[in-house]
Every structure is written in structure tokens, then in C-alpha cells.
Amino acid sequence: MRKMMDVWVSVMIIASFAFAVESHACTRVVYIGPDQTVLTGRTMDFSIDIPANLWIFPRGMERNGQVGQNSLNWTSRYGSIISSSWDIATPDGMNEKGLVANLLWLVQSEYPVFDMNGEKKGMTIAAWAQYALDSFATVAEAVESLRQEEFVVVTDFIPGTDKFTTVHLSLSDATGDSAIFEYVNGKLVIHHSRTYQVMTNDPVFEEQLAIKGYWDHIPGTLFLPGSNRAADRFVRAAYYLRAIPQTDDPHVAVAIMFSVIRNVSVPYGISTEGQPHISSTRWRVVADQKRLVYYFENVLTPNVLWVDMKQVDFSEGAPVRKLALDAGQVYAGNALEHFIESAPFEFQGL
């Protein structure tokens, strides 16, 4: 009886977190295994269709922050493979050094005011993750640079919708290090630790850690919260990450990671009355940061495709290449040969 009472109390506590905000439903998990095995998996969940294409970007690309005359300009130091959103933004990708960037929705985000005539440069939020992939080889390097706040992240509505873009950025690298970057009340907050292996949407990451701290004392074999809400997905992902076996077998490790992120996915087409931000999983990614293989799964197609980045020409001057997936195209296995040379998309700006 006492155990059942403890479980019920835990349900009520976690529900108080879960109902605090409405949230989109992405989840990101980092697996750290033996023999320097590191993989990052994520779900892309959204309330409307968010078609993805895969892009290969070489080194030496000239970039622009797309916010007018006071835009940040930079040149990519590293090549990357990314999943686009509507071919206007980079929400996910891995560079040739094994740095992975993931954007997840965070309703509570509040960004600094951008002065188009001010001294500080600006960059569209659509390019935030791409800037990290272009510029850094490790999480520590990214944290050291981004904490200087040498530019302002500028956000706006997603074109054709009433959705104002509010996201936080997670980075993980080939050593298993992680960092989460959030703008809270207009201030940049950075959480940097190898132990930050699980991340969802709302609430802010500090409160996610508090939720995890409580549930660490509740045996997952006795009870796990099962709803689609961000707090419950966080708890399930954290529990399974501790419970899954440790392996350096690349096939088993990828299968394990997909099994975890599928467990925290939201069934396709689901809707909940009065909760418009409970969102279907649209696609999933697993990035093997040791072996530099990027796996992609669209929930509307029956197969997983991948790209072995060691086979990609990322040299400066190499062509930008695209794998179109936004019209239901079906590929399986190593899809590198199906990429075609394409003009790069332009990041959505002001």
C-alpha cells in the first residue's frame, strides 16, 4: 500500500510540471557506450506537417544571418549533413567532426531585442544550429564562443502560420559532451555537462533536471508516466537510457537508440482536445558520432536511410547536394548516391 501511495504522489507531482505549459513534442537522447561509442537520437514532432530534405554542405560556404544590413557573416569551417525544415531552416544535423545540433521547441523562450542599427550583429534563428555545425568541432569550443554573445538570435513567425518560433538548441559531440542553450527572459542560459543526455521541450532545462531528480527515486520497473507530454517523455527517455545495454556494436547501438526514441514518439495523427501543442512525430534521426553515420526515418515511409559521412567530399569547392524527401520519396540503406547537386536553400530571415 505504501508503495502504491508513493507512486500516486509521484503521478500528481509530475502532472503539476506537465500541465504547467503546453509544448511541442520533440525529444533528444544521447547514448554513451563503451569504446568511445556515442550516438544522438531525436524525434521531430510538430502540430503541422514539417517536411524535411537532407542536405550535404561542404566547407568554405559563405553564410549570412539574413536579418538585413546588420547581419552576421561567416564562412563554414566544417562540412555537414543536415535535415531541413521547409528548406528554410536547419533544425538538425551533424558535422564532419561528429558535432550534432538539434533544435527543439521551447514555448518559454524569450530572445534579446535586436537593433538593426546597433553594434551587435544579428542572425536568423533558422540558421542558429547551422552556425554551430559550421563553426565548432566540440561542445566545449561552442560553449566558450557562444557565451560571448557576439551576435543576437533573431526570431519571427514561421511563414504562412501563426506560430512564433521559440526554440532551444542542444549540442553533443563525439566525446559524449553536451550543452543546452536557452534564452530565458532575454538572457542566454547555458547548461553544459556530459550528464545532460536527455532533453525535451518545456519546461526550461533547469526544471527538466528537477523532474528527473525526483523520478530517479521511483523504480521504472514499478511505474513510468505514459502520456505524450514533455515531462513524461523526459522521464521515460531517461529511464530507458539507464536500462538499455552497453555495447560498441554499431548495428546494435543504432537499433537501441531507435528503440528509445520510438518509445518517446507521439503516434502519427494523434490530437488531444484543448491541447494543440501535443504533436505527432514527423521524422526521427540517429547520428552515430563515432562512425560518422547519419540515419533518417520518415514516419510515412517504411524504411530507414543513412549516409556514411566518411564517403562524402566535404572539401571547399565541392558541390552542395540534396536528397529530396518532402514529396514522399522512399529510399532505404546508404542513400548517398541519390543526392543531387543543388543550389543551397536560403535561411528564412526578416
The catalytic site residues sit at 26
Closest CA to 39 of 134, 175, 168: 175
Taking the C-alpha atoms of residue 305 and residue 333, their distance in angstroms, rounded to an integer, is 5
Cα gap 137→76, rounded to integer Å: 12
85-106 burial, b at 16+ Cβ within 10 Å, e below that, comes to: bbbbbbbbbbbbbbbbbbbbbb
Question: 87: closest CA among 249, 325, 251?
Answer: 325
d(CA 41, CA 100): 10
CA distance 107 to 109: 6
Q: Distance (Å, rounded) from C-alpha 100 to C-alpha 133? A: 7
Q: Which residue has the cell 529510399?
A: 331
Question: How far does CA 284 lie from the centroid of its chain?
Answer: 10
Reported residue count of the chain is 350
The Cα 209–Cα 45 span in angstroms is 21
